[in-house]
Amino acid sequence: MTETFRVTYATLSADNDDLHAAYDEGIERARAMLGGLRPFVIGGEMREGIAGAALDERSPADHDLRVANLATASAEDVADAVAAAHVHAPTWAATPWQDRAEVLDRAADLISERRFELSAVMAMEVGKNRLEALGDVEETADLIRYYGHQMREHQGFAQPMERLSPEEATFDVMRPYGVWAVVAPFNFPMALAIAPTAAALIVGNTVVLKPSEQGALTSILGCEALWDAGIPPGALHVVTGPGETVGRALVQDPRVGGITFTGSYDVGMALYRARAGAWPKPVVCEMGGKNPVIVGEAADLDLAVEGTARSAFGYSGQKCSAASRCYVERSVYGEFVDRLVERADAVVVGDPLRRDVFMGPVIDAAAVSRYESAVAEASQTGRVLAGGRRIDDGALERGYFVAPTVVEAPIDGRLFSDELFVPFVAVAPVSSLDDAIDRANASPLGLTAGLFSREQADIDRFLERIDAGVVYVNRKSGATTGAWPGVQPFGGWKGSGTNGKAGGGPYYLQQYAREQSRTIVS
Ligand code: UN1
């Protein structure tokens, strides 16, 4: 039954007729939400932004499918959103935390209830397959539930402290910053837009969200669930438009107390460097990944091949957590590579709404050219072993489809160091596990990493030495991808994140509030 079958990123397959029948109905409801003018929302008021500047947003799977005519906010609109959030901040902060948590619990339930239409919209808007889109929606609901659970476990982050004399009463409380800006990416247009928004809200900040223009409809529908659940219109505002104008105006506004940004290393680092206005501002950044898979000679190759393929090609390699480089001990290299190539060739690519499709399109023409230039480089400097071409047969001609690709390339070259964000994995042999770990750690990024080995000594060595925030050993459902709230906290080390604290983990919410120690002498 659909009510009891829950899709997570660890779901390997779901040949569940009820689930797919419910999804098919969700697609019909989703279609009715597409195509129209999509205003942004400030203080509950719909705004159409700059006249004549709406973005004609098309599906990456089919250019003939109009997702939305997306309004573009002006600098004044952004300033209005921040002002409205600023005015409402004291009221929301004064709302008891139990009430805030209750509203957000309700929002999580609404998101779960709407999961089929939300994920169908997402599939059409960003090209994610059925299970991955359902996973994104359910992850959002579970992230929100987890943050509610954290608030309750910490009693709203307020606790009595020791006292130095009998006359003094002392407390430690976590207080919100005021207005929090959330700048979200296209690839998890629910989880990475709505969950940080919920985290900021639950601790008492008001929020201005700027979704990606390539995932905005999904993000706005997520906001609707929050408003419908009872988040006051003054507490949550959403503005749409390009990062260079709308995003920049938002993060530079001095009334914004803190920022969450998920996206590229370059933008995240620029934001982090520029973050301080008159005083330092917290910035919660989750940036890129160049996530390694290490296959040891004692690996179970069934697990290694499946786990690598799922993480390299899941959502067309467009996850910060995607596996994009493989270091394989020489004795098993030939067999591993042959089997990975066979597995890549078997991936079903096509319309992400189809039940049997594993891999949809990449997001846009820029992603196709990144893919093509990586393939060209691999053919010059190494060998393309699987894929390496655009797929444009029949209806796929109307979308950005490329084949899952495995290449052998120079181990010190660009294909082993640059994040490409396409379904492309580079493989190379190594002489030892330590060599593999050294190479894995040489990247300035450190988000996720995977090891396949049945040797306990290898596992211990990997866990002791690897510089990454999310690590997996022998995981068939994803060598480097598929973290779930409350199960695998998700955050990066080094250039992959700013604070060393992870989403869906026990230390996440504290980033959204500042400590106040209170001493009251009687
Ligand atoms: C991202 O791509 O930015 O572990 C996040 C995963 C997902 C998160 C990916 N939960 O694959």
| Buried residues in 137-173 as b, exposed as e (16+ CB within 10 A) | bbbbbbbbbbbbebbeeeebbeeeeeeeeeeeeeeee
Question: Residue 278: what pLDDT?
Answer: 81
Active site residue 286: yes
User: Residues with Cβ within 6 A of ligand 1?
Assistant: 9, 187-188, 192, 262, 319-321, 481-483, 490
pLDDT band at 1 (very low <50, low <70, confident <90, very high): very low
What would the two tokens of residue 313 be?
A: 């090609």
pLDDT single digits (tens) 183-206: 999 999 999 999 999 999 999 999
Mean pLDDT of the chain, nearest integer:
96
**Domain extents in the chain:** 34-287+499-521, 291-492
pLDDT of residue 165: 95
368-427: pLDDT as tens digits: 999 999 999 999 999 999 999 999 999 899 999 999 999 999 999 999 999 999 999 999
The dihedrals phi and psi of 349, each to the nearest 5 degrees, come to -110, 140
Mean pLDDT of 436-463: 98
CATH topology match: 34-287+499-521 vs 291-492: no
* 91: helix, strand or coil: helix
Adjacency order of strands within the sheet including 513-521? 158-160, 168-176, 513-521
Distance CA 111, CA 141 (A): 6
Q: How far is the CA of 494 from the centre of ligand 1 (A)?
A: 17
pLDDT for res 2: 43
For residues 468 and 437, the answer to whether their CB atoms sit within 8 Å is: no
* Annotated catalytic residue 320: yes
Average pLDDT of the residues in 498-507: 96
Is the domain defined by 34-287+499-521 classed in CATH 3.40.605.10? yes
Residue 4's pLDDT band (cuts 50, 70, 90): low
pLDDT tens digits for range 207-266: 999 999 999 999 999 999 999 999 999 999 999 999 999 999 999 999 999 999 999 999
Mutate to test the pocket of ligand 1, among 186, 214, 265, 321 (most ligand atoms within 8 A of CB): 321
Q: Mark out the alpha helices in 274-416 (DSSP H runs).
A: 301-313, 330-345, 365-381
Structure tokens at 105: 């619990």
Give pairs for 369-377: CB < 8 Å, separation 24+. 370/420, 370/421, 370/422, 371/402, 371/405, 371/420, 371/422, 371/423, 371/424, 374/405, 374/407, 374/415, 374/420, 374/422, 374/424, 375/405, 375/407, 375/424, 377/409, 377/413, 377/414, 377/415
Pick the catalytic residue: 57, 125, 306, 320?
320
> Sign of dihedral through CA atoms 499, 227, 483, 425?
negative
Q: What is the pLDDT of residue 354?
A: 96
Which residue, 195, 174, 287, 220, is CA-closest to 40? Answer: 220
Of 481, 487, 496, the one to substitute when testing ligand 1's pocket (max ligand atoms within 8 A of C-beta) is: 481
Q: Would you state the pLDDT for residue 395?
A: 87
The per-residue pLDDT for range 343-368, each reduced to its tens digit, is: 999 999 999 999 999 999 999 999 99
- pTM beyond 0.95: the answer is yes
% of the chain beyond a pLDDT of 70: 99
- What angle (nearest 5°) sits at the alpha carbon of residue 209, between those of residues 94 and 124? 135
Residues 6+ apart with CB under 8 A from 392: 401
Specify the pairing of strand 158-160 against strand 168-176: antiparallel
Neighbours of 226 (CB within 10 A): 27
Q: 218 to each of 63, 102, 124, 185, 504, how far by Cα in Å?
A: 18, 23, 10, 11, 21
pLDDT of 319 over the 90 cut: yes
Question: CATH class for domain 291-492?
Answer: alpha beta
The pLDDT of residue 310 is 98
- At 230 the pLDDT is 98
Contacts of residue 233, defined as CB under 8 A and 6 or more positions apart, other chains included, come to: 41, 43, 44, 227
Ligand 1 centroid distance, CA of 84 (Å): 32
Confidence of residue 13 (pLDDT cuts 50, 70, 90): confident
The average pLDDT across 461-487 equals 98
The mean pLDDT value for 322-337 works out to: 98
Q: From the CB of residue 20, how many other CB atoms can be counted at a distance below 10 Å? A: 15
In terms of DSSP bridges, do strands 55-59 and 62-70 run parallel, antiparallel, or are they unpaired? Answer: antiparallel
pLDDT digits (tens, 9 = 90+) for 119-165: 999 999 999 999 999 999 999 999 999 999 999 999 999 999 999 99
The token pair that represents 181 in the structure block: 């800006």
